[in-house]
Amino acid sequence: VGFETTAPTVAGAIIEARKRGIDNFFVYSMHKLTPPAMRSILELGEVKLDGILGPGHVSTVIGSDAWSFLPQEYRIPVAIAGFDIIDILLGIKALLGMIRENKPRVVNTYLRSVKVNGNKLAQDTIYKVFEVMDSYWRGLGKLPDSGLRIREEYRDFDASVHFPLEIKETREDKLCRCGEVIRGVISPLECPLFDSVCNPSNPVGPCMVSSEGTCSAYYLYGVRR
């Protein structure tokens, strides 16, 4: 499981396993692609965004130009930022400037890492081993062209071929509103389970399970009802 940042290393491992003749190494690919997910969320029309902080590490791989569809098609400004405090502040400053001027575009404030076209070697490695597919996202459903599966020529490393798994439909608590939190429709405080039934010791949805989840962050930093 991972996004564009981890896919190159997994693809590289598969290529290396082929070179070494390793026959007991398998990958069950659950890799996701970020821009198609962003497009799908915006197409729902549920969220009205003033601006987007673009993910720095993902953009290092795919390049700043990969986000150009956001200002061009949706009139939403994008500022690609790193993860240090100063990086985030620079990104917010860039967004505020574009919003004030009403000139949406992609601004790269993470110049020490992100290039316009990204990391070509990483991209080539990904698509040498993987191909794009429709993929399920928890809380979002099936999104077109948002996942990666192993290509036919590397299928001997595909765990789903060697170890067929029956994927059963998960039972989710009907009161859990994690999907809406992920889509930015509501805040965690609007979920009836937050800070009552659902907490880091007893997480109900993925927003609380992951340390990077929105609900987990709210809980960790003391944002409560």
Contacts 24+ apart (CB under 8 A), 92-101: 92/53, 95/50, 95/51, 95/52, 95/53, 96/51, 98/51, 99/50, 99/51
Asked whether residue 224 carries a pLDDT value surpassing 90, the answer given is no
Residue with the larger pLDDT of the pair 29 and 173: 29
Most confident of 41-45, 188-192, 218-222: 188-192
Domain boundaries in the chain?
7-162, 178-220
Mean pLDDT of 14-32: 97
Token pair 């001997």: residue:
156
- Condensed to tens digits (0 to 9), the pLDDT of residues 41-62 reads 999 888 889 999 999 999 999 9
Residue with the larger pLDDT of the pair 212 and 202: 202
User: Which tokens sit at 162?
Assistant: 């060697």
Q: How confident is the model at residue 91 (pLDDT cuts 50, 70, 90)?
A: very high
Q: How confident is the model at residue 225 (pLDDT cuts 50, 70, 90)?
A: low
pTM, entire model: 0.88
CATH assignment of 7-162, among 1.25.40, 1.10.3470, 3.40.50, 3.30.160: 3.40.50
Note the pLDDT of residue 105.
98
User: Which tokens sit at 40?
Assistant: 């799908």
Task: Give the number of other CB atoms < 10 A from CB of residue 105.
Answer: 15
